[in-house]
Amino acid sequence: MALIPKNHPRAKSLLIRERLVDGFENGVVAKEGLLAHGRGEAFDYLLGEKTTKAAKKAIKAAASALILAKNPIISVNGNIAALCPKEIVQLAKTLDAKIEVNLFYENRERKKNIVKILKKNGAKNVLGLKPKFYKRIPGLDSARRIVDKNGIYAADVVLVPLEDGDRAISLKKLGKKVITFDLNPLSRTAQTAHITIIDNVIRGMGELILACKKLSGKNDATLRKIVRHYSNKRNLSANILEIKRNLTRRATHG
Of 51 and 200, the one with the shorter C-beta distance to ligand PTJ is: 200
Of 150 and 165, the one with the shorter C-beta distance to ligand PTJ is: 165
243 lies in the binding site for ligand PTJ (CB under 6 A): no
Of 39 and 229, the one with the shorter C-beta distance to ligand PTJ is: 39
Coil/strand/helix, residue 75: strand
Residue 28 near residue 171 (C-beta atoms within 8 A): no
Of 18 and 96, the one with the shorter C-beta distance to ligand PTJ is: 18
d(CA 153, CA 248): 44
24 lies in the binding site for ligand PTJ (CB under 6 A): no
Of 201 and 238, the one with the shorter C-beta distance to ligand PTJ is: 201
Q: Catalogue the E-assigned strands of 94-223.
A: 98-101, 134-136, 146-148, 157-159, 177-181, 195-197
Q: Least distance from C-beta 117 to ligand PTJ, angstroms?
A: 12
From the CB of residue 156, how many other CB atoms can be counted at a distance below 10 Å? 15
Pick out residues in 175-234 that bind ligand PTJ (CB under 6 A). 181-184, 187, 200-202
x/- letters, 99..128, toward ligand PTJ (CB under 6 A) = ----xxx-----------------------
78 lies in the binding site for ligand PTJ (CB under 6 A): yes
Q: Least distance from C-beta 187 to ligand PTJ, angstroms?
A: 4
Coil/strand/helix, residue 130: coil
d(CA 59, CA 199): 9
Q: Least distance from C-beta 76 to ligand PTJ, angstroms?
A: 9
Residue 63 near residue 215 (C-beta atoms within 8 A): yes
What single-letter DSSP state applies at residue 112? H
Q: Which of 36, 74, 91, 208 binds ligand PTJ (CB under 6 A)?
A: 36
Residue 72 near residue 55 (C-beta atoms within 8 A): no
Of 42 and 210, the one with the shorter C-beta distance to ligand PTJ is: 42
Pick out residues in 150-169 that bind ligand PTJ (CB under 6 A). 162, 164-165
Part in contact with ligand PTJ (CB under 6 A); list of ranges 30-38, 133-141, 211-219, 242-250: 30-38
Amino acid sitting at position 34: L
Q: Which of 19, 23, 40, 166 binds ligand PTJ (CB under 6 A)?
A: 40
Instruction: Please identify the residue of the shown chain whose CB is closest to the bound ligand PTJ.
Output: 40
Question: Which long-range contacts link 212-218 to residues 24+ away (Cβ below 8 Å)?
Answer: 212/63, 212/66, 212/67, 212/91, 212/94, 212/95, 213/94, 214/63, 215/60, 215/63, 215/64, 215/67, 216/67, 216/94, 218/64, 218/67
By CB under 6 A, name the binding residues for ligand PTJ: 30, 32-33, 36-37, 39-40, 43, 77-79, 83, 103-105, 162, 164-165, 181-184, 187, 200-202
